[in-house]
Structure 1
Amino acid sequence: MTPKVIFLVGAAGSGKSTVGKLISSHLKFSYLDKDVICNRFTGKLLETQGISPNERDGCEFYQTEVMPLEYETLLEIAADNVRNGISVILDAPFLGYFSDEKYIQKLKEKYSWEDSTPLVLEVTVNSEVLLKRIKNRNIKRDDWKIANWDTFLESLKSRKCLWSNVEIKQFDNSEEEIDEDKLFEIISINSR
């Protein structure tokens, strides 16, 4: 079977992790969360520069030096799985890469993913639910988002995934409970 690479994208607090873990548990895909893989190292790297380990948004050192390393690490781990015939779910915002129309083609070439099937699943929620979830998760690195809410929302709205040669689907995750049938219908993969 051709391995699938699901790019699970969306705002912090949209429920990407919950959706990704659900898909992974039903389909036995490898679930790779950028935050779980990289956060401890990222915090230490920021501290070596005299920067708070929780500072991401608005931090030039993070954006230009650390974030690319996080994504390279995530993608290298995914590539190992795909080369072994294992489908993967990549849980990361990928927002900084949305404007690169050839991003998927570049990844396929770099990581030898020619035989894989990519899919972008954008997890969305309305702004009220998003604010509530971000506040409820009570993560220090979200302080900037809450303090600059309108700016944060505008930055999300301005970033659309422009990747070519990949199917892009959306799943509205605003409800309290995930509609599993709808989710698996959207991604066109039988979970049963």
Structure 2
Amino acid sequence: MEPTVIFLIGPAGSGKSTIGKLISSKYNCCYLDKDVVCNKLTGLILESNGYSPHERDGCTFYSDVVMDLEYQTLLDIANDNLQLGRSVVLDAPFLGYFSNRNYIHELKEKYDWQNVKPLVLQVTVDFSVLKERMQARALERDAWKFSNWDTFIQSIQEKQCLWEGIEILQFDNSSATVDLDKLYHILPFTPPSGLM
């Protein structure tokens, strides 16, 4: 089977990490969470330039300078695994890249993904459930979202993934527990032998 790169997208608190880890475990994929890969370094970069280490939303220095570095790092690590024949789940919002219709074409060309299948799995969630989950996790980087909740929700609704040349699958993760049968059913590949 050709290696697959799954772009796991959705708002903060939608359960992307849970979904990503379930998929990675079931299908023996490499799981890459942008927060784990980049957060410590990003925090130091922000702090050394006079910003809070948790400042992301609404911070132009982050969006103009740091964000691209984070995603380049994440994708470089993913590509190393893909070139070794290992499928990868990328747990990151990618919101800043949604409007670039050619984004996937550009990645295919940059990394020479001739034998790599890219697909998007968009995790959706009811906004009231989203707020409860974010309150429960109590992360400092969510402070801006709570202070600007209507703006945050509006940005989620307005920022649609416009990428061309890629299959976009959707999974509603509003339930208290993940519907595993539904999740695994929508993915277009079968687990390696012995992992059923």
Fold in common (TM above 0.5): yes
Give the 5 Å matches for 1:95-134.
95-134=95-134
Displacement of 1:188: 2.4
Which secondary structure does the structure 2 equivalent of 1:123 belong to?
strand
The aligned counterpart of 2:150 is: 150
RMSD of aligned Cα (Å): 0.7
- Over residues 26-68 of structure 1, what are the superposed CA-to-partner deviations in whole Å (9 max), with x where a residue is unaligned? 1100000000000000000001111000000000000010010
Which secondary structure does the structure 1 equivalent of 2:190 belong to?
coil
One-letter amino acid of the counterpart of residue 48, structure 2? T
- What are structure 1's unaligned runs of at least 5 residues? none
Which secondary structure does the structure 2 equivalent of 1:7 belong to?
strand
Alpha-carbon distance in structure 2 between the residues aligned to 1:62 and 1:13:
20
Give the 5 Å matches for 1:17-32.
17-32=17-32
Alpha-carbon distance in structure 1 between the residues aligned to 2:167 and 2:67:
25
- What are structure 2's unaligned runs of at least 5 residues? none
Which secondary structure does the structure 2 equivalent of 1:63 belong to?
helix
- Over residues 82-135 of structure 1, what are the superposed CA-to-partner deviations in whole Å (9 max), with x where a residue is unaligned? 010000000000011001111001001101112100110000100000000111
Which secondary structure does the structure 2 equivalent of 1:58 belong to?
coil
1:89 and 2:89 are equivalent in the alignment:
yes
Alpha-carbon distance in structure 2 between the residues aligned to 1:185 and 1:146:
34
1:74 and 2:71 are equivalent in the alignment:
no
Alpha-carbon distance in structure 2 between the residues aligned to 1:163 and 1:94:
11
- Equivalenced residue count is 192
One-letter amino acid of the counterpart of residue 73, structure 2? T
Alpha-carbon distance in structure 2 between the residues aligned to 1:41 and 1:123:
27
Identical columns (%)? 58
User: Which portions of structure 1, spanning 4 or more consecutive aligned residues, are displaced by more than 4 angstroms?
Assistant: none
The aligned counterpart of 2:60 is: 60
The aligned counterpart of 1:140 is: 140
The aligned counterpart of 2:168 is: 168
- Over residues 147-182 of structure 1, what are the superposed CA-to-partner deviations in whole Å (9 max), with x where a residue is unaligned? 110000000000000101100010000001111110
The aligned counterpart of 2:179 is: 179
